[in-house]
Amino acid sequence: MTTVSAAPWLDVPADHPFGVATLPYGVFSTAADPVARVGVAIGELILDLAPVVRLLAPRLAPAVAGPSLDALLAAGPRTWAEVRAAVTTWLTDPSFSDQLGAHLVPARDAVLHLPFTVADYVDFYASEQHATNLGRMFRPGQDPLTPNWKHLPIGYHGRAGTVVGSGTGVVRPSGQRREPDGGITFGPSRRLDIEAELGFVVGAPSRLGRPVELTRFAEHVFGVCLVNDWSARDIQAWEYVPLGPFLGKSFATSVSPWVVPLAALDAARVAPPERTVPLLPYLDDSRTPPWGLDVRLEVRLNGHVVSRPVFDGMYWTGAQMLAHLTANGASLRTGDLYASGTISGARPDQRGSLIELSWGGAEPLRLADGTTRTFLEDGDEVVISAVAPGAGGTVIGLGEVRGRILPAGRD
């Protein structure tokens, strides 16, 4: 496979995570022009897409004109491919330098916004290691994996209205907690946690009553982002039986500002782990090109790396999650977001949540600055970043999602 590199006048190193093989979409504004608008990241710059498309490909202008990615998501896979091909040409062919020059903004001068209107939000549970670890802690004495786990990707519907952009402060939630003596109290969570996840962003909708087959994944899903599904473990542990997560997870979910198109992840596709239970036909991906993804994450707490989760071991793929999510005929809307569930690898340093890293609080983490943590303290900042392999040795960056814990309001 040949690799294209950005035009020399852009000065983007070949292995930059936002090189010309990535081209993620986001929404930005600047002090000089505070209107939120669609941008494509290239190196340390952002291409202001709407004026460039108006000039060079006016037929595509409506898809990138608004203050969000919504129109582009809704436009569907043919338009996604056309816009990506056009942007690739403009950024690699030096003859476009004059036309582009006025529309490239230094990324450091930009404010990045929540990139799309989140329609529905679903959270899966696709890591066997994470499910096993949590099963051990939440349901000691039972099989860690529930009997359904290898037959279907377990998930729940979350709260779309509290999905927030990277950098938004996260107020420590309050809720009901069961104290060690059995008493029930209400107050700020004492076991506030992170969940490092990959989010799938739905573009093209589907019709009510029509399941989306495995092989149609890329016709509906536009791309991926990073997700931090903040979780209050004490609230969750008390409330979740029998209907599943509720207020312990609905107070905030942070997403990264850049959405990386599926088209950028071609070289990162890998086979998922071997399935140990036969799958029903609608989930059987043994004869379709695989949608496992070699995405490598890094979780930093106050600047210190605490984990390096890997997505390639996830038992369920994004295509299977979508097939299952729609298997009952539930329709997709533009802007639906579904997250993979916490990404935990087999090694202890690949666990994607603090409850696993500190084993329920029993084994505090020692950070490089000498402090220790079990769960999050007020003022703590968590940054999750990720990269994936691109064609010809390039690096595909997913950017980062950032969030800081603010003290609870009132008891």
Ligand X SMILES: O=C(O)/C=C/C(=O)CC(=O)CC(=O)O
Any idea which residues carry the catalytic annotation?
Answer: 130
Residue 197, marked binder = yes
What is the identity of the amino acid at 106?
P
Quick check: 318 binds ligand X (CB under 6 A)? no
Q: Which of 191, 220, 249, 296 binds Mg ion (CB under 5 A)?
A: 249
Task: Output 68 or 307, the one with its CB closest to ligand X.
Answer: 307
- Picked from Mg ion, ligand X, Ca ion, none, the partner binding residue 134 (CB below 5 to 8 A depending on kind) is ligand X
d(CA 201, CA 314): 18
Q: How many CB atoms lie within 10 A of CB 270?
A: 17
**Does 150 show up as a binding residue in the annotation?**
no
Query: Are the CB atoms for 288 and 281 separated by under 8 Å?
Result: no
Give the whole-angstrom CA distance, residue 241 versus residue 90.
Answer: 54
Please report whether residue 254 would count as binding Mg ion according to CB under 5 A. no
Instruction: Note whether 122 and 154 are within 8 A (CB).
Output: no
Tell me if 282 is assigned to a ligand binding site.
no
Unique residue bearing structure tokens 């984990």? 307
Let me know: does 336 contact 202? Beta carbons within 8 Å: yes
Is there binding between residue 253 and Mg ion (CB under 5 A)?
yes
> What residues line the site for Ca ion (CB under 5 A)?
123, 195, 229
d(CA 45, CA 65): 19
| Min dist. Cβ of residue 235 to ligand X (A) | 11
Rounded to a whole number of angstroms, the minimum distance from the CB of residue 312 to ligand X is 16
Cβ-based neighbour number of residue 207 at 10 Å = 11
Query: From the list 48, 70, 229, 336, which residue makes contact with ligand X (rule: CB under 6 A)?
Result: 229
Residue 106: phi and psi, rounded to 5, are: -60, 130
Count of residues of this chain found to bind Mg ion when the rule CB under 5 A is applied: 4
16 contacts Mg ion (rule: CB under 5 A): no
Contact 124, 244 (CB under 8 A): no
| Partner in contact with 138, chosen from ligand X, Mg ion, Ca ion, none, beta carbon below 5 to 8 Å by kind | ligand X
Instruction: Indicate the residue among 231 and 358 with the shorter CB distance to ligand X.
Output: 231
Q: Which of 73, 110, 134, 332: binder of ligand X (CB under 6 A)?
A: 134
**DSSP H or E run through 135:** helix 128-138
Was 229 annotated as part of a binding site?
Answer: yes
**What token pair was written down for 156?**
């729940």
Residue 297 CB, shortest distance to Mg ion, in Å, is 18
Report whether the peptide linkage leading into residue 261 is cis, meaning its omega lies within 30 degrees of zero. no
Applying CB under 6 A, does 342 fall inside the site for ligand X? yes
Report whether 236 belongs to an annotated binding site: yes
- Gap between the Cα atoms of 77 and 88, Å rounded: 16
Contact between 221 and 293 under an 8 Å Cβ cutoff? The reply is: no
CB nearer to Ca ion: pick between 120 and 229: 229
- Pick the closer one to Mg ion by CB: 204 or 382: 382
**Residues 200, 289: contact at Cβ < 8 Å?**
no
Task: Report what 253 binds from ligand X, Mg ion, Ca ion, none; CB cut-off 5-8 Å by kind.
Answer: Mg ion
When asked if residue 200 is in the footprint of ligand X (CB under 6 A), the reply is no
Q: Which is nearer to ligand X, 196 or 405 (CB)?
A: 196
Which residues are CB-contacts of 216 (< 8 A; sequence separation ≥ 6)? none
Q: Which stretch binds Mg ion (CB under 5 A): 101-109, 221-229, 294-302, 332-340?
A: 221-229
Q: What residue number has its CB nearest to Ca ion?
A: 229
In the bound state with ligand X, the residue whose beta carbon lies nearer, of 22 and 342, is 342
Half-sphere exposure of 155 (CA within 13 A, CB side): 24
Q: Is 110 in the site for ligand X (CB under 6 A)?
A: no
The answer on whether 338 is annotated among ligand-binding residues is no
Least Å from the CB of residue 199 to ligand X: 11
Q: Which helix (H) or strand (E) holds 322?
A: helix 318-325
Using the Cα atoms of residue 276, residue 282, residue 283 and residue 286 in order, give the sign of their dihedral: positive
* Contact pick of 103, 113, 130, 172 for ligand X (by CB under 6 A): 130
Contact 160, 120 (CB under 8 A): yes
Known binding residues: 123, 125, 139, 195, 197, 229, 236, 240, 249, 253, 342
Q: For binding to ligand X (CB under 6 A), which residues are involved?
A: 123, 125, 130, 134-135, 138, 195, 197, 229, 231, 240, 245, 249, 341-342
